[in-house]
Amino acid sequence: MSDSQSQHIAKSLVPDYIRELQVYQAGKPIDELAREKGLTRISKLASNENPLGPSPFAIREMTNGLWELHRYPDMHAYKLKTALSELYSLKRENIVLGNGSEGIMAYISRAFIRPGDEVLTSENTFIGFYILSRSVGAKLKTVPLTADYKYDVMAMAENITDKTKVIYIANPNNPTGTYITKAEFDSLMEHVPEHVLVILDEAYFEFAKDREDYPDSMDYRYDNVITLRTFSKAYGLSGIRVGYGFGNEHLISNLNKVKLPFEPNLIAQLGAVGALEDTPHLERTLKNNNELYDVTFKYLEEKGFKPIPSLTNFITIKTGTEEASNDLFNLLLEEGVIIRPLRANEMPDFVRVSIGTKDEMNHFFEAMDKILPNYDKKHGRV
């Protein structure tokens, strides 16, 4: 069969809204860079992972679970749901689990969104949601960020129509690190009809929860709000992909009808239970992040950049042009430092830097000091 015949068959089978999707691009893997450049010192500051790694408690639980790999996992995830219900004072019926928070977004798309439904969110937010909503044929409607790179909640409220089915808010937002306040959230919800589903993506909740004006969704009990959180960031379990969501039991029961059985897998469930038990590890993670965030933000300002204040474990930097972003990314790669250009987020003149360990951030500073003289001359920063 020729390639043109294969393309014709695919075109006849695949809906237009699937063919037009862009594949999600992850941060460059460490092994890939090592192969390409022959480097031995590599600092990955691209994917907002926990640089301290997983909790020893999580490793213990996962290791013990290896002897049970011939068994299917508990489909109802009793231990993990019980731990979460006790932590957040919820019933197990209010909890849904998935293969990362993106997995739960996929359940939401499958259960509640039909082709042609209108989905409202912001520009320059988590691109995984764009992909998932478009994958079910939804009409994606976005409003611009404010001048200080925040969700424009009033513009979102003004754009709610009779066709609006779902509103998506990442709080704090990825990739800007900004957040909407309690007052802003309250104001938005005054304009949201009861039949419109609001997704609050709180992937970076642990980094934001102590900010006085941050609207922890557990302080609210809206029947049309689903909260999403994850073990991939502060808990250091990106590699096993486990996320969780909270909502009223009628919404959650319908999500459970469309989710894959036995997800999350056995090891993911055990690792998450162990991670929840290890409060000191979480505290060390937040301490490391807070200290090195301040150092990194100050360094970037001293070097003439304009970093966006963030309530997360990353900092986004305005470079001025897409060429400048690509140059900064590629020059740092040569030094073994991986950051994230943001063209996929429709922010080509920005890059994002995750907060790593002290050694990793020193590597970043050293690499920047080395490349900036020529970079600054080329891009008119001197």
Domain of 361, CATH number, reads: 3.90.1150.10
Q: Are residues 317 and 366 in the same domain?
A: yes
**H-type alpha helices, the chain:** 3-13, 16-19, 30-37, 56-65, 78-88, 100-112, 127-135, 153-158, 182-189, 205-208, 249-258, 266-277, 279-302, 322-334, 358-378
Whether 127 contacts 24, CB under 8 Å: yes
Q: Are residues 106 and 224 in the same domain?
A: yes
**Within a domain: residue 7?**
no
Q: Are residues 32 and 119 in the same domain?
A: no
The half-sphere exposure of 262 on its side-chain side, counting CA atoms within 13 A, is 7
The confidence score (pLDDT) of residue 13 equals 57
Could you tell me which of 331, 315, 335 has the C-alpha nearest to residue 323? 331
Q: Report in angstroms the alpha-carbon separations of 289 from 62, 119, 129, 297, 381.
A: 25, 34, 26, 12, 29
Whether 172 contacts 314, CB under 8 Å: no
pLDDT tens-place string over residues 191-203: 999 999 999 999 9
Longest Cα–Cα distance in the chain: 63
**Within a domain: residue 6?**
no
**Within a domain: residue 3?**
no
The confidence score (pLDDT) of residue 11 equals 57
Show the low-confidence residues of the chain (pLDDT under 70).
1-28, 34, 37, 382
Q: Are residues 109 and 258 in the same domain?
A: yes
* 350 backbone dihedrals φ, ψ, rounded to 5°: -135, 155
Domain end: 257, 277, 297, which one?
A: 277
Q: Are residues 271 and 344 in the same domain?
A: no
**Within a domain: residue 8?**
no
Q: Are residues 218 and 147 in the same domain?
A: yes
**Within a domain: residue 19?**
no
Token pair, residue 191, equals 């304009």
Domain end: 277, 308, 330, which one?
A: 277
**Within a domain: residue 17?**
no
Q: Are residues 85 and 222 in the same domain?
A: yes
Q: Would you call the peptide bond into 54 cis, given omega within 30 degrees of 0 as the criterion?
A: no
The confidence score (pLDDT) of residue 1 equals 59
Q: What does the DSSP 8-state code read for residue 89? A: T
Q: Would you call the peptide bond into 144 cis, given omega within 30 degrees of 0 as the criterion?
A: no
Q: pTM score > 0.75 for this model? A: yes
| Alpha-carbon torsion (15, 139, 27, 84), positive or negative | negative
Terminal Cα-to-Cα distance of the chain (whole angstroms): 58
**Quick check: helix, strand or coil at residue 308?**
strand
Number of Cβ atoms within 10 Å of the Cβ of 319: 24
Q: Are residues 163 and 71 in the same domain?
A: yes
Domain end: 219, 246, 277, which one?
A: 277
Domain count, the chain: 2
Rounded-to-integer distance, Cα 356 and Cα 363, Å: 10
**Beta strand 306-308 pairing with 118-122:** unpaired
Could you tell me which of 182, 180, 120, 150 has the C-alpha nearest to residue 316? 150
Residue matched to tokens 């306040």: 181
Structural domain span for residue 244 = 56-277
Q: Are residues 303 and 235 in the same domain?
A: no
